[in-house]
């Protein structure tokens, strides 16, 4: 029981990170019907932005409060990652709009290779460990020598995720930008005829997805204390699985999917086999795509001739 | 159109170009400044510190600014004033000329491939030829073969398979495990591993029959990763991430390529060298690749090949015309997988060592890139793409003289995949249909003609 609760906490933490990344996948798929394959690597780059600015702030500028440093780092990382994603969309995806369907996917795979190898060249191939940023751990209860703990890191991750999702939900549901996005999702041509700047809306969708990935990247760095140039692939696939499981195109679905995938991964690792936890996640992806491709909260796809 | 030609006549718009350049400079500095200019590294005490290398970042920014300025001022107006000149349909004479050209090029290339090892031996000597035959010849031909195999699945049947490397792994492990545990010869195991890979193609093909496009791509990617992860974790079966070593070599009619008295070198009174084995392997993979090409070309003329191409164009229409889409897709998967299995067993025999490291997703991405960059469905294009991408990146290993220019820490090898990725993106932007983008329909009404790749719906289904 204690172990289960502990794994539940760990799973929700991991799931929050997946959920934040998954939103980027689901929004981009919703609006232009493309699997943004480089999103996982954008997430990885954002963690590097966070790492670099965290070191600059603490070592060069002498910021002693970790929380202040983390907030500044998160904001910087969100801005720069948004910019990165904007540039990628502008260079690699926009010229291919209207091209045949595989072209953007291939371009995105190329971009994913570029990003991870660029970081490898620029920042070196080794793991980048940081000293633990947030150490506090609270014991919830102690039973038979097994203490169920909740660390401050986990509280921060869950709280930041909830706050950002609320803000994001407001943005999509209540602002003109969100309305434009939902309009483009339904019918891009019609939205354009009604005076919506479609290209700009798509760009902003990429930027928003990347900003949320940057939050996830900062939290990932804080939680694990280490980042590596190849760290984009596995979380990227997991987050994509989450987006598909929740129903691609659906924002609440992405978060729900993220939490489920996080829980499945940790619980599988605990109770079945730690070695095969990635196999489990991939199998879920396969099973979901085959048997319920519309996901939990998604709309079924209508086949048109 | 009129406006752009007017602008071109009035000379480049330097004001706008300068504005563009400044903007991209700011963006480039914001991105490269931290990522390149502030390098994180561990110091003596194993602490992570930031090193100031802003000079490099400024250099990259300057290159971006200059490049963007040139693009805005000269290249884009030139492209705009040239306009669209691509023709969708060629006349029969042009088609005949193009196909004659292709035939001549193919014949020339084939002749070159046949004499290539001897050419290398003549130029570099027996020992010096090893590198050129092995690193360039064999390596490129493996990818040509994989590209042609995957071309059946992507280019002909239009099913985007991102897990193709899994079948390559099946072939490699089949040969490695059966050769070590049952002591069977390569020549028995080559067809066997092809058959096993084809079975896996069918097993994995069955569940994904209902999927199309991106979803199919992701599921095949997941299958590829599952196979790799199982190979890593099922240590009793596959040796885990340590892999399997000392896999037996290929023999030529029972003649071994080793130093024993019955070995190839002793038998023909040649000085001992591993070059003979490499040359033999070269011809083996050349034969396998040509077999792939031949089978593909013949299959395209059979009903099944026609069905693949019809499936690629429109699945719904296919079904309504009575084509069994299940069988059509499964045969595409199985035959594509079979060639990957052949290539895999060859790979295992050549390396003498297999580990899951060789079958990562990146390999699948490279093969897909070769097929797409070559122009899906075009055999010549795929071969060109394999030569350019694999040969080009292999050449980067040879550029060690650049160390003189950039200092001793400079390692051109690390830019291999970076350049590969950039080439993928750039080719997609410039020529989304690949290097060879004209198609000759397999079935024709009245006259032969070639159509632009833009009219083909590749990879939709």
Q: Tens digits of per-residue pLDDT, B313-357? A: 888 888 888 888 888 889 999 999 999 999 999 999 888 888 888
Domain region containing A214: 2-291
Q: Which residue has the higher pLDDT, B404 or B190?
A: B190
d(CA A78, CA B388): 38
Closest alpha carbon within chain B to A275: B233
What is the arithmetic mean of pLDDT over A77-85? 93
CATH number at residue A72: 1.10.3470
Residue B316's CB is within 10 A of a number of other CB atoms, namely: 12
Last residue of a domain, one of B82, B114, B144: B82
Q: Which two tokens stand for residue B295?
A: 């089978």
Query: Which residue's structure tokens are 């991964």?
Result: A265
Q: B29 and B167 share a domain? A: no
Q: What is the mean pLDDT of chain B?
A: 80
Is A302 within the bounds of a domain? Answer: no
Number of domains in chain B: 2
Band of residue B4 on the pLDDT scale cut at 50, 70, 90: very low
Is A266 within the bounds of a domain? Answer: yes
A177-214 pLDDT tens trace: 888 988 888 888 888 899 888 899 999 999 999 999 99
Is B461 within the bounds of a domain? Answer: no
Q: B204 and B308 share a domain? A: yes
B294-304 pLDDT tens trace: 999 898 888 88
Q: B27 and B144 share a domain? A: no
Is A23 within the bounds of a domain? Answer: yes
Q: B211 and B311 share a domain? A: yes
d(CA A29, CA A18): 16
Is A300 within the bounds of a domain? Answer: no
What is the arithmetic mean of pLDDT over B418-432? 84
Q: B165 and B257 share a domain? A: yes
Q: B32 and B143 share a domain? A: no
Which among B219, B365, B367 is the top mutation candidate for probing chain A, defined by the most A β-carbons within 10 Å of its own β-carbon?
Answer: B219
Band of residue A131 on the pLDDT scale cut at 50, 70, 90: confident
Is B96 within the bounds of a domain? Answer: no
B73, B12 in Cβ contact below 8 A? Answer: yes
Contact list in B for residue A80 (CB cut-off 8 A) is 30-31, 34
Contact list in A for residue B72 (CB cut-off 8 A) is none
Is A304 within the bounds of a domain? Answer: no
Q: What percent of chain A has pLDDT over 70?
A: 98
Entry pTM? 0.85
Q: B337 and B304 share a domain? A: yes
- Please choose, from the candidates B100, B149, B197, the residue with its C-alpha nearest in 3D space to the C-alpha of residue B386: B149
What is the arithmetic mean of pLDDT over B202-227? 82
Q: B246 and B350 share a domain? A: yes
Is A178 within the bounds of a domain? Answer: yes
Number of domains in chain A: 1
Contact list in A for residue B432 (CB cut-off 8 A) is 96, 99-100, 103
CB–CB contact B218 A289 (8 Å): yes
Domain region containing B69: 2-82
Is A227 strand, coil or helix? strand
The H or E element that residue B39 is part of is strand B38-42
pLDDT at B441: 60
CB–CB contact A279 B30 (8 Å): no
Q: B117 and B63 share a domain? A: no
Q: E-assigned strands of chain A?
A: 128-129, 137-143, 146-151, 226-227
What DSSP string runs through A84-149? HHHHHIIIIIGGGTTS-THHHHHHHHHHHHHHHHHHHHHH-SS-EE---S---EEEEEEETTEEEE
CB–CB contact A100 B208 (8 Å): no
Is A48 within the bounds of a domain? Answer: yes
Last residue of a domain, one of B19, B52, B82: B82
d(CA A12, nearest CA chain B) in Å: 24
Closest alpha carbon within chain B to A46: B35
d(CA B27, nearest CA chain A) in Å: 7
Q: What percent of chain A has pLDDT over 90?
A: 23
Q: B124 and B64 share a domain? A: no
pLDDT at B157: 86
Is A245 within the bounds of a domain? Answer: yes
CB–CB contact B42 A126 (8 Å): yes
Q: B261 and B364 share a domain? A: yes
Q: What percent of chain B has pLDDT over 70?
A: 81
What is the arithmetic mean of pLDDT over B82-88? 55
Is B436 within the bounds of a domain? Answer: yes
What is the arithmetic mean of pLDDT over A245-250? 82
What is the arithmetic mean of pLDDT over B142-167? 90
Which of B48, B226, B418 has the CB atom closest to A55's CB atom? B48
Q: B250 and B376 share a domain? A: yes
Is B63 within the bounds of a domain? Answer: yes
Last residue of a domain, one of B21, B49, B82: B82
Residue B461 confidence (pLDDT) above 50 = no
d(CA A180, CA A201): 7
Is B370 within the bounds of a domain? Answer: yes
CB–CB contact A290 B424 (8 Å): no
Residue B94 confidence (pLDDT) above 60 = yes
Is B91 within the bounds of a domain? Answer: no
B227-279 pLDDT tens trace: 888 888 888 888 878 888 878 877 777 677 766 666 666 666 666 667 778 88
Q: Which residue has the higher pLDDT, B11 or B428?
A: B428
Residue A48 confidence (pLDDT) above 60 = yes
């Amino acid at each position: 029981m204690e172990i289960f609760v502990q794994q539940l906490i760990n799973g929700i933490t991991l799931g929050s990170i997946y959920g934040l990344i998954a939103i980027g996948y689901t929004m981009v798929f919703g609006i232009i019907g493309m699997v943004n394959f480089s999103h996982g690597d954008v997430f990885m780059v954002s963690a590097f932005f966070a790492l670099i600015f965290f070191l600059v702030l603490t070592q060069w500028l002498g910021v002693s409060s970790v929380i202040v440093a983390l907030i500044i780092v998160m904001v910087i990382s969100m801005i720069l990652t948004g910019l990165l994603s904007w540039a990628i969309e502008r260079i690699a995806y926009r010229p291919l709009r209207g091209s045949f369907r595989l072209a953007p996917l291939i371009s995105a795979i190329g971009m994913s290779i570029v990003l991870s190898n660029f970081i490898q060249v620029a920042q070196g191939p080794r793991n980048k460990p940081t000293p633990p940023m947030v150490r506090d751990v609270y014991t919830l209860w102690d039973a038979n020598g097994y203490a169920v703990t909740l660390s401050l890191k986990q509280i921060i991750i869950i709280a930041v995720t909830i706050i950002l999702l609320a803000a994001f939900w407001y943005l999509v549901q209540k602002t003109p930008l969100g309305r434009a996005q939902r309009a483009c999702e339904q019918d891009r041509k019609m939205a354009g005829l009604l005076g919506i700047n479609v290209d700009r809306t798509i760009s902003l969708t990429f930027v928003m997805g990347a900003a949320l990935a940057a939050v996830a990247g900062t939290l990932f760095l804080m939680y694990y204390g280490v980042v590596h140039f190849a760290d984009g692939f596995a979380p990227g696939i997991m987050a994509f699985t989450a987006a598909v499981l929740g129903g691609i195109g659906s924002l609440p679905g992405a978060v729900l999917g993220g939490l489920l995938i996080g829980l499945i991964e940790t619980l599988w690792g605990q109770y079945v086999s730690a070695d095969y936890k990635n196999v489990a996640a991939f199998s879920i992806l396969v099973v979901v795509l085959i048997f319920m491709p519309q996901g939990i909260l998604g709309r079924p796809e209508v086949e048109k001739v | 159109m009129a406006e752009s030609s007017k602008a071109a006549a009035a000379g480049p718009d330097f004001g706008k170009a300068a504005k563009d350049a400044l903007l991209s400079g700011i963006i480039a500095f914001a991105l490269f400044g931290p990522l390149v200019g502030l390098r994180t590294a561990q110091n003596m005490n194993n602490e992570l510190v930031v090193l100031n290398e802003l000079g490099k970042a400024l250099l990259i920014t300057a290159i971006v600014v200059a490049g963007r300025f040139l693009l805005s001022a000269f290249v884009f107006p030139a492209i705009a004033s040239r306009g669209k000149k691509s023709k969708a349909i060629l006349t029969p004479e042009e088609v005949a000329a193009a196909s004659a050209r292709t035939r001549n090029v193919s014949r020339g290339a084939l002749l070159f491939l046949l004499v290539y090892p001897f050419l290398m031996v003549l130029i570099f000597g027996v020992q010096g030829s090893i590198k050129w035959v092995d690193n360039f010849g064999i390596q490129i031909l493996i990818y040509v073969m994989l590209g042609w195999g995957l071309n059946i699945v992507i280019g002909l049947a239009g099913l985007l398979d991102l897990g193709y490397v899994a079948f390559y792994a099946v072939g490699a492990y089949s040969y490695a495990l059966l050769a070590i545990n049952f002591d069977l010869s390569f020549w028995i195991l080559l067809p066997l591993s092809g058959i096993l890979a084809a079975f896996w193609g069918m097993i994995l093909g069955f569940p994904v029959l209902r999927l199309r496009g991106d979803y199919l791509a992701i599921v095949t990617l997941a299958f590829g990763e599952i196979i790799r992860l199982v190979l890593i974790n099922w240590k009793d079966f596959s040796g885990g991430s340590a892999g399997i070593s000392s896999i037996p070599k290929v023999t030529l009619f029972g003649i071994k390529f080793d130093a024993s008295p019955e070995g190839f070198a002793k038998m023909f009174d040649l000085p001992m060298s591993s070059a003979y084995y490499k040359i033999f392997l070269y011809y083996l993979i050349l034969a396998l690749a040509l077999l792939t090409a031949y089978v593909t070309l013949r299959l395209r003329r059979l009903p099944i090949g026609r069905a693949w191409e019809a499936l690629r164009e429109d699945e719904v229409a296919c079904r309504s015309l009575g084509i069994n889409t299940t069988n059509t897709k499964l045969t595409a998967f199985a035959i594509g997988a079979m060639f990957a299995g052949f290539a895999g067993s060859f790979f295992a025999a050549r390396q003498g060592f297999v580990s899951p490291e060789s079958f990562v997703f990146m390999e699948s991405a490279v093969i897909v890139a070769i097929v797409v960059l070559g122009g899906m469905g075009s055999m010549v294009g795929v071969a060109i793409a394999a030569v350019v991408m694999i040969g080009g990146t292999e050449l980067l290993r040879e550029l060690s003289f650049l160390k003189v220019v950039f200092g001793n820490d400079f390692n051109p090898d690390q830019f291999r995949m970076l350049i590969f990725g950039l080439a993928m993106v750039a080719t997609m932007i410039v020529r989304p249909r690949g290097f060879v983008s004209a198609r000759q329909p397999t079935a024709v009404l009245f006259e032969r003609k070639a159509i632009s790749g833009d009219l083909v719906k590749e990879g939709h289904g």
